[in-house]
Structure formats: structure tokens, C-alpha cells
Structure 1
Amino acid sequence: MYAEERQQAIADLLSQRGRLSVNELADRFMVTTETVRRDLSTLERAGIVRRVHGGAIPAASLSVLELAVSERDLTHGERKDRVASAAVEFLPRAGGSLLLDAGTTTARLAGLLPLDVSFTVFTNAVPIASRLAGRGNVELHLLPGRVRRTTQAAVGEETVAALDRIRADIAFVGTNGLSLSHGLSTPDQSEAAAKHAMVCSAQRVVVLTDSSKIGHESTVRFADLSQIDVIITDDGISAEDQKSLTDIDIEVVVA
């Protein structure tokens, strides 16, 4: 069993049982306790579980958990961890206001926010809000709107209107596709409208994407590449794509 398959199975089992110990999981999957702890750390960074003494529990309600443990979240998990870690370097050093888009990589970034810096965070993502709600150094604003079941993201006219009133220091945005000809894109019209409003509401825009999205185009464009300041991706990006992006004055960070 590959690591991502085992992590998926652990998340499914936790959703059924509610709480499991490290020793139970090690016995069940015939791996060492150290391997289980690494798996739980990966799942915790993704906002799927919460580590407790000797084991783990689900991080949120069942509906949020079902989203988080989907194949969408665990695919390219190691790459997304690297991208999120690299994004920490772009956080305002003295604190400030952040827009965190819904997505699996932005959820990982939320879990990496430093504890010794104060941030004002606006997000339309229920899993991210759940993750940050108890943080003493975060002033959290959950954007209004209709919550899509498939992504747990608030979308719609209320979401766009709320974003129109915000001017954040930096937005961290995910995407389903990124190409020179079509810009940043996503399959859903309402998600695209929310993402577009988020891009327009920040002084600086940082896109977090694993390299599998580069060169891919989804149905609805939500931003032109001219609106993007930084793209953080993994080392799967081709030299040709990296040069094409830097040639149009986008900073490309390879994690």
C-alpha cells in the first residue's frame, strides 16, 4: 500500500470510528508507529485530523471530513506540502491581512501560519475557517455566501459583494488550470466569480499550484496572468513553462 492510499484509509477509518490510537493504526496497517505518526502529521497539515495524545480524531464535522479525505486532497500531497511551506516565506513579516482561497494547498498553508505573528484572515473556505477558529493570533473572517457541498467554499453574490469591500495585503489563491492563453481557470462559474473577486481585492496575489495544473485549462477563466505576482509550484514544472512565466514578469518559486 502506498503512503497516500494508507492515509486515505486512515482518514476513512477515523470518520467511522471517531478516534484511533497510533498503536491500533500501526497494527491494522502493519507499519511502524513512526510511519503512522508521519501519516497523521500529513493528514493534520491537510486539515483532515487533529492529533491528540496517543492518536488522532477527526478535525471537523463529517461533511467537512468527507471533502477533505477525497482523492482530490491526497493527490500530489507531498508536492502540495512543499508548495505550502514555500508560501510561508511570502507572509507579511509584521503581520497583516490575508485572503485565503478555498483549496487543499491553501488549507495546508493555513496550518503553517506562525503562532508569534498576528494576522487578519478572510476566507471563503469552511475547512480553513474551522482550522483557524481557535487561533489566538488570528482575527478570522468567514466570508458569507452559499456553501458548495463539493468544495466547502462560500460562493455567490454575497461572497463577491463582501470581497469587493476588502483590500487585503496579500491573497493566496488556488487554481484548477493555468495557461498562457487562458490564464487561471476553474470548472465552476460561481467559484470563478469568488476567485476573481479575491484576486481583485488584494494588493499582491500569490498562486499556489502543483505543477500538474500548469498547461491545463478549465472552463471558466477567473484571472489573467497579468494580475498575478507570484506562482509557487513544485519541481515538476518544465523549464519551458517556467521561462514563459518569468518572461511576462511573474516570479516563479519552485518548491
Structure 2
Amino acid sequence: MSKQYLDQSSPRAVSSKRSERMRRILSLLHEHTSRSLGDLARDLSVSEATLRRDLAELDEQGQLVRTHGGARERNSQPEIPVRLRNTSYKREKQYIARRTVDLIPTGPYALALSGGTTTAEVARGLRHRAGLTIVTNSLTIAMECATWPRLKVIMTGGVVRQSSFEAVGSLSEGAFRGINVGTCILGTDGISATGGVTTHDETEARTNHAMVENAGRVIVVADGSKIGRATLAKMADISEVDDLVTDSSADPEALKLIAAAGVEVHVVEMAISPVDEP
């Protein structure tokens, strides 16, 4: 396969440092709608030349609109692409995943996983489990799990969303409704007692609700920034959630309301980095 073909058909590789910078650009634009090149360069402590390259790539991907002297938010794309979320709250997600893995029974078991960086961390924590079947609509999770010989992986069909790499729509919904799983692990963009479990895209929300419907237990995994927040589309009512696993940065009042709604809340303390543990 030629290099030219790969360049045209595959997503560009993004370094961890650049990925975090691009994520912060989108977050700043989401907060302020538009920013000048100088303001962004100052906020991010980078040169304007570096920033121009980042803005050009994000504009090409349809994540923002470049303007004369800066950039503005693209209203139709409020969510940050999954490949730029990998460095966001990574340590918290690792702790959340470890606690979630402890909630999954050993032995033969079927588990559904939605897309997302936190659910991907959960999948990595399960890679040595024997007799486990993973059902997912996430291309990234399915590809990673397929390399682990102890796991059986079932990938749903559907239309792939560019920003999340999740297969959605009637094909994916039908697949989830045709399979019974012991536990569904749901990533989210927001969870609150009144708003339920939410995401940015209504089609993705419908697909994930089909996952919830045929699960014996529903576990939501969310870092502290998602607690008490509600986004556009509801994936599940709070009454459909059995467990929430989050970290100690979460709003305590929002957690109290979620617990009062009947959800078992598990809060992991952020003590030392996983790389420092023995």
C-alpha cells in the first residue's frame, strides 16, 4: 500500500502534547465562541506559527472555522472528537476504570461497552479476563479488544460517526436489542439527577439506549467534570442506572442528588499517579 494512499485515507497521527493543545483550543472556543490568534497563543503559551498549523488542521476537519486573525466555534460541532480526548483527565479515567473492573463478575460473562475514552480504559482493564464477551459499537474499542486472545468481541453494524468512531443507527440498535448482556458500561458527556445520562448526538443517544434496554445492570463511568452536567440528548433516565463510578473531583451536591435517585455511587480518591504505584 502506497504512502500516498495512507496519507489520503487514514487520520493524521497526533502527538499527546498536540492532542491536548487542540483539545484546549476547542474548549476555549466553546467557552468564548471566538478568539483572536494572539489571545489563543497567549492562553496556550505557544507561538502563533504553531497555532496557525493547529487551526488549519482543525478547520480542515470541520471542528472550527478559521477567521481573519483567529478562529470561531463551529455551531454544528459542539463535541470534542474522541481522538483529542485521550489526554483529558487520563489519570482520573484510569482510577475509574480500575474500580469499574472490580464490579464485573469473573468467569463467563457478556458485557456491553459504549464508546469513549473512559470505557476504553475499562476495556483495557479487562484484557486478561477469561470467558468474557465484549459487545460494542465503538470501532476503537473493538479493534483494541480484538488483539487480546482471551476476549470474544462482537461488533455491531451501523453508520460510523466521525467525531466518536461509534456505529449508530438502526443496524446498531437492532444488534443491541438482539443480545442480552449482564452489564452495560456507559460513557457519557453528562449525568445529573434531573437530566439523566446525556450525550451530544441524538442518534448516538438512541443507539446507546438500546444497549441499556437489554442489560441486567447499567454502570455509568464519568470523570468529575461530567457530574451534574446535562447535554443535548438523553441516553438513559437516572432510574435506569444502577451504578455511577466517578472521581473525587465531582460536585458532592450533584452526587448526593444522584444517590438519592437510587444510584449506587462509587467515588475513587485521587491519591497518587498509577505510574507511581508499586
* TM-score normalized with structure 1 length: 0.72
Indicate the residue corresponding to 1:122 in structure 2: 135
- Do residues 183 (structure 1) and 196 (structure 2) align? yes
> 2:119 touches 2:185 (CA, 8 Å); kept in 1?
yes
Deviation, structure 1 residue 114: 4.6
- Do residues 243 (structure 1) and 252 (structure 2) align? no
Distance across 1 between alignment mates of 2:145 and 2:181: 18
Q: Closer, same or farther in 2 for the Cα pair 1:167/1:210, shift >3 Å?
A: same
- Do residues 254 (structure 1) and 234 (structure 2) align? no
What amino acid sits opposite 2:234 in the alignment?
R
Deviation, structure 1 residue 215: 1.3
What amino acid sits opposite 2:228 in the alignment?
G
Deviation, structure 1 residue 10: 8.8
- Do residues 8 (structure 1) and 17 (structure 2) align? yes
Equivalent position SS for 1:243: helix
Equivalent position SS for 2:86: helix
What amino acid sits opposite 1:208 in the alignment?
V
Q: How many residues align?
A: 196
> 1:147 touches 1:153 (CA, 8 Å); kept in 2?
yes
Deviation, structure 1 residue 134: 2.0
- Do residues 146 (structure 1) and 155 (structure 2) align? no
Equivalent position SS for 1:205: strand
- Do residues 162 (structure 1) and 175 (structure 2) align? yes
Deviation, structure 1 residue 7: 3.1
Equivalent position SS for 2:249: coil
Distance across 1 between alignment mates of 2:138 and 2:94: 18
What amino acid sits opposite 1:244 in the alignment?
L
Listed as ranges, the matches of 1:224-235 within 5 Å are 224-235=237-248
Listed as ranges, the matches of 1:180-219 within 5 Å are 180-219=193-232
Equivalent position SS for 1:199: helix
Q: Closer, same or farther in 2 for the Cα pair 1:8/1:162, shift >3 Å?
A: same
Q: Closer, same or farther in 2 for the Cα pair 1:94/1:190, shift >3 Å?
A: same
Whichever of the two has the greater Rg, that structure is 2
> 1:8 touches 1:69 (CA, 8 Å); kept in 2?
no
> 1:199 touches 1:223 (CA, 8 Å); kept in 2?
yes
Distance across 1 between alignment mates of 2:138 and 2:117: 10
> 1:185 touches 1:217 (CA, 8 Å); kept in 2?
yes
Deviation, structure 1 residue 9: 4.2
Could you list the per-position Cα deviations for residues 126-176 of structure 1 after superposition, in whole angstroms to 9, with x for gaps in the alignment?
010110112221111011001111100000110011111111000100111
> 1:230 touches 1:251 (CA, 8 Å); kept in 2?
yes
Unpaired segments ≥5 residues, structure 2: 1-13, 22-80, 269-278
> 2:133 touches 2:151 (CA, 8 Å); kept in 1?
yes
Equivalent position SS for 1:244: helix
What amino acid sits opposite 1:160 in the alignment?
E
> 1:11 touches 1:69 (CA, 8 Å); kept in 2?
no
> 2:127 touches 2:145 (CA, 8 Å); kept in 1?
no
Equivalent position SS for 2:220: strand
What CA RMSD, in Å, does the superposition of the two structures yield over aligned residues? 2.0
- Do residues 89 (structure 1) and 66 (structure 2) align? no
Q: Closer, same or farther in 2 for the Cα pair 1:139/1:77, shift >3 Å?
A: same
> 2:20 touches 2:87 (CA, 8 Å); kept in 1?
no
* TM-score normalized with structure 2 length: 0.67
Q: Closer, same or farther in 2 for the Cα pair 1:252/1:183, shift >3 Å?
A: same
Unpaired segments ≥5 residues, structure 1: 13-66
Indicate the residue corresponding to 1:109 in structure 2: 122
Equivalent position SS for 1:73: coil
Indicate the residue corresponding to 1:174 in structure 2: 187
Distance across 2 between alignment mates of 1:106 and 1:92: 17
